[in-house]
Chain A
Amino acid sequence: MTFLRQALRYRRAQGLVLAGISLLIGTCAAFAPWFARAVEQTVTTEALTHQWNSAAWQLKTTPSTAVGGPAEETPPEDLAQLVPADLKPLFTPPVYGRTAVVIWGLGNARPTVEGRVVWRDGYCAQLELTAGRCPRAPGEVAASSADAKNFGLAVGATVRAQTASNPERSPLRVVGIYQADAEATYWFGRRPTGNSRQASDSQPPLGDFLLAERGTLSAGHWDAYSTLDTRPQPGIARADDLDRIRQVTDQLEAQIAERGIDARNGSGLIGVIDGIQTERRQATTIIPLVMVQVALFGVVVLALALATVVDQRRPELGVSRLRGSGASSTGRALAAELSVPVLLGTLAGAAAGFAMLLAVRAAWLGGAAPLEVPWTVPAAVAVAALAGLTVVALSVRTVVRRPISSLLRRIPLRGRHRTIGLIDLTVIVVASAGLVTGLTSGGRGPLPILTPTLLALAAGLAFAHLLLPAAGLVSRYALRRGRLGLALGALQVARRPAVTRLVAVVAVATGLASFAGQAASVADRNRDTRAGYETGAEAVLAIDPANLGVFTAAADKVDPERRWLTPVVLTSPPSAESLRAVLIEPDSYRRIAFRGDRLTDAEGFRKLQAPTEPKPIELTGQRLTVTADAGAMTSYEPPAGDNVVPPPEEPAKSVVLQATVVNQRSGGRYLVAFPPIPLGRGGPVTLSTALGCLPSCQLLRLGVSREVGDTAGVKGEIAISRLATDTQQSIPLGRMQDWTNGSQAGADQGSIAARNAPNGLALDVTSLGGELNVQYAAIPTPVPALASPDAVGDALTVPGLDGISIPIAKLGNPHIPVPRHTDRVAVLDLETARRVGGGVDRASTEFELWLNADGLANVGKIMDGLTAAGVTPTLVDRRSDRIDGYGRSASALALRLTPVVGLASWALAVVVLLLMGVSSWRSRAQDYASLRINGVPASTTGGAARWEQTGPVALAALLGSACGIVGAHIALPMFPLFAETSEPSPIPLDLAINWPGAVILWLAGTVVLTATTLVLGTGVNRRAGYGRIREELS
Chain B
Amino acid sequence: MTGLAISTSGLVHIYRSQGHDVAALSGIGITVRPGEFVGLLGPSGAGKSTLLQLCGGLLTPSAGRLQIGEHNLTTMTEPELDRMRARDVGIVLQGAGRNLIPYLSPLDNVRYAQRAASHDRSLPTPEDVLELVGLTDHARTPLPSLTPGQIQLCAVAVGIATFPGLLLADEPTSQLDHRARDEVLAAISTVNSSTGMTVLLVTHDPEVAASLPRTVTIRDGRIASEGRSGEEFAVVATDGSLPLPPHVAGLLPPGTLLRVTTTEDGDVRLSPVQQEGQS
Q: How distant is the Cα of A7 from the Cα of B101 in the complex, in angstroms? A: 9
Which residues of A have CB within 8 Å of B161?
Answer: 323
* Residues of chain A within 8 A of B91, CB atoms compared: 322
Report if B10 contacts A (CB, 8 A): no
Given the known A-B contacts A324-B117, A404-B58, are A10 and B79 also in contact in the complex, defined by CB atoms under 8 Å?
no
Least CB separation from B83: chain A residue: A324
A9 contacts the other chain (Cβ, under 8 Å)? yes
Is B116 within 8 A of A325, CB to CB? Answer: yes
Q: Is the CB of A405 within 8 A of B86?
A: no
Q: Is B201 an interface residue (CB 8 A)?
A: no
Within A394-424, the residues touching B (CB, 8 Å) are 403-405, 408
Q: Which residues of B contact A2 (CB under 8 A)?
A: 108
A321 within 8 A of B: yes
Name the CB-closest residue of B to A333. Answer: B115
Is B85 a contact of A324 with CB atoms below 8 Å? yes
Task: Determine whether A1034 belongs to the interface, using a CB cutoff of 8 Å to chain B.
Answer: yes
Q: CA of A543 to CA of B37 in the docked complex: distance in angstroms? A: 111
Closest to A9 in B: B103
Partner of B103, one of A10, A319, A404: A10
User: What 1/0 flags go to A292-329 for Cβ under 8 Å of B?
Assistant: 00000000000000000000000110111111111101
Give the residue name and chain of the B residue nearest to A407 (CB): B58
In the complex, what residues of B have CB within 8 A of residue A6's CB?
103-104, 108
**B175: chain A residues within 8 A (beta carbon):** 1034
CB distance from A949 to the nearest CB of B (A): 27
**Closest residue on chain B to residue A413 by CB atoms:** B17
- In the assembled complex, B102 has its CB within 8 A of some CB on chain A: yes
B73 CB → nearest A CB, Å:
14
B142 to chain A, nearest CB (A): 10
B177 at the interface (CB under 8 A from A): no
Interface residues of B in 46-103 (CB under 8 A from A): 53, 56, 58-59, 78-79, 82-87, 91, 93, 95, 98-103
B233 within 8 A of A: no
Query: Is A3 engaged at the interface, CB distance under 8 Å to the other chain?
Result: yes
Q: Is the CB of A324 within 8 A of B99?
A: no
Across-interface contacts of A319 in B (CB, < 8 A): 98-101, 112
Q: Which of B230-253 contact A (CB under 8 A)?
A: none
Q: Are B85 and A323 in contact (CB under 8 A)?
A: yes
Contacts of B108 in A (CB 8 A): 2-3, 6
User: Which residue of chain B has the shortest Cβ distance to A406 in the bound complex?
Assistant: B58
Bound: A318/B158 CA distance, A: 14
Docked pose: A2 CA to B53 CA in angstroms: 30
Considering the chains assembled together, what is the distance between the CA atoms of A7 and B85 in angstroms? 23
Q: How far is the CA of A11 from the CA of B101 in the complex (A)?
A: 12
Q: Is residue B139 contacting chain A, with contact meaning CB distance below 8 A? A: no
Residues of B contacting A324 with CB < 8 Å? Answer: 82-87, 116-117, 162
Chain A residues with CB under 8 A of B41: none
Q: How many residues of A contact B (CB 8 A)?
A: 25
Residues in chain B near residue A318, CB distance under 8 A = 98
Q: B-side binding surface: helix, strand, loop or mixed?
A: helix
Are A323 and B78 closer than 8 Å at their CB atoms?
Answer: no
User: Which residues on B sit within 8 Å (CB–CB) of A325?
Assistant: 82, 86, 115-116
Q: Separation in Å of the A397 CB from the closest CB of chain B?
A: 15
A3 to B115: give the CA distance in the assembly, Å.
Answer: 11
Interface size on B, residues (CB 8 A): 33
B169 at the interface (CB under 8 A from A): no
- Give A6 to B82 CA distance when docked, in angstroms: 25
Question: Considering only CB atoms, which chain A residue lies closest to B15 in the complex?
Answer: A405
Residue A323 contacts which of B53, B98, B103, B113 (CB distance < 8 angstroms)? B113
> Using Cβ atoms and an 8 Å threshold, which residues of chain A touch B162?
324
Residue of A315, A326, A329, A405 touching B59 (CB-CB under 8 A): A405
Asked whether A323 and B100 contact (CB < 8 A) given A2-B108, A3-B108, A1034-B95, the answer is: no
* Docked pose: A322 CA to B102 CA in angstroms: 15
A830 CA / B41 CA spacing, docked (Å): 111
In the complex, which of the residues A11, A403, A405 has the most CB atoms of chain B within 10 Å of its own CB atom?
A: A405
Residues of A within 8 Å of B56, CB to CB, are 322
- Determine the distance from Cα of A326 to Cα of B114 in the docked complex, in whole angstroms: 13
Docked pose: A324 CA to B117 CA in angstroms: 7
A645 to chain B, nearest CB (A): 120
Closest A residue by C-beta to B100 = A319
What chain B residues lie within 8 Å of A327 (beta carbons)? 78, 82
A-B contact count (CB 8 A): 69
B117: nearest chain-A partner, CB-CB: A324
A7: nearest residue on chain B (CB-CB)?
Answer: B103
Residues B104 and A3 in contact, CB atoms below 8 Å apart: yes
- The residue in A329, A404, A405 that gathers the most chain B C-beta atoms within 10 A of its C-beta is A404
B236 → chain A closest CB, angstroms: 32
Q: Hey, which chain A residues are within 8 Å of B101, CB to CB?
A: 3, 316, 319
Kindly provide the distance from the CB of B277 to the nearest chain A CB, expressed in whole angstroms. 46
Q: Collect the chain A residues with CB atoms within 8 Å of residue B83's CB.
A: 324
The interface residues of chain A lying within 8 Å CB-to-CB of B158 are 323
From 3 to 42 in chain A, residues with beta carbon under 8 angstroms from any chain B beta carbon are: 3, 6-7, 9-11
A326 to B83 Cα, complex, angstroms: 8
- A324–B104 alpha-carbon span in the complex (Å): 18
| Nearest A residue to B116, CB-CB | A324
Q: Is the CB of B82 within 8 A of A321?
A: yes
Which residues of B have CB within 8 Å of A405?
53, 58-59
- Least CB distance from A413 to B in Å reads 9
Q: Are A408 and B115 in contact (CB under 8 A)?
A: no
In the bound complex, what is the Cα–Cα distance between A115 and B11 (angstroms)? 117
Instruction: Give the nearest-CB partner of A8 in chain B.
Output: B103
Rounded to whole angstroms, the CA-CA distance of A321 and B102 in the bound complex is 16
Residues from 175 to 190 in B contacting A, C-beta threshold 8 Å: 175
* Chain A min CB distance to B116 (Å): 4
B109 and chain A: residue at smallest CB distance:
A319
Q: Which of A320, A326, A403, A1034 contacts B79 (CB 8 A)?
A: A326
B95 contacts which chain A residues (CB < 8 A)?
A: 1034
B58 near A323 (CB under 8 angstroms)?
no
- From 319 to 368 in chain A, residues with beta carbon under 8 angstroms from any chain B beta carbon are 319-327, 329
Q: Which residue of A lies closest to B18 (CB)?
A: A416
Closest residue of chain B to A318 (Cβ to Cβ) is B98
Task: Kindly list chain A residues whose C-beta atoms are within 8 Å of the C-beta of B104.
Answer: 3, 6
Interface string of B24-60 (1 = CB under 8 A from A): 0000000000000000000000000000010010110
Task: Specify which chain A residues have a CB less than 8 angstroms from the CB of B100 in the assembled complex.
Answer: 319
**Given A9-B103, A318-B98, A323:B59 Cβ within 8 A:** no
A329 to B85, CA, bound (A): 14
- Give the residues in chain A near B112, CB-CB below 8 Å: 3, 319-320, 323
Q: How far is the CA of A9 from the CA of B142 in the complex (A)?
A: 14
Q: Mark A198-213, 1 if CB is under 8 A from B, else 0.
A: 0000000000000000
Which residue in chain A gives the minimum CB-CB distance to B104? Answer: A6
CB neighbours (8 Å) of A320 from chain B are: 112
Q: Report the Cα distance A54→B259, complex, angstroms.
A: 119
The docked-state distance in angstroms from the alpha carbon of A26 to that of B104 is 32
Q: Is the CB of B93 within 8 A of A408?
A: yes
With a CB–CB cut-off of 8 A, which chain B residues contact A322? 56, 58, 85, 91, 93, 99
* B-side contacts of A7, CB under 8 Å: 103
A1034 to B95, CA, bound (A): 8
Residues of A near B99 (CB, < 8 A) are: 319, 322
- Selected from B78, B93, B116, the residue in CB contact (under 8 A) with A329 is B116
Which of A323, A403, A404, A408 is most buried by chain B, counting CB atoms within 10 A of its CB? A323
A9 to B53, CA, bound (A): 33
| A9 CA / B112 CA spacing, docked (Å) | 17
A316 to B58, CA, bound (A): 15
Distance in Å from the Cβ of A267 to the closest Cβ of chain B? 71
A126-B168 Cα distance, complex, nearest whole Å: 98
User: Bound complex: CA of A320 vs CA of B99, how far in Å?
Assistant: 9
Q: Give the 8 A-B CB pairs with smallest separation, nearest first.
A: A324-B86, A10-B103, A324-B116, A324-B85, A323-B113, A325-B116, A326-B82, A404-B58
7 contacts across the A-B interface (CB closer than 8 A): A3-B104, A322-B91, A324-B82, A324-B84, A324-B162, A325-B82, A408-B93
Other A-B pairs, 8, CB within 8 Å; known A316-B101, A323-B116, A327-B82: A318-B98, A319-B98, A323-B86, A324-B87, A324-B117, A326-B78, A405-B59, A1034-B95
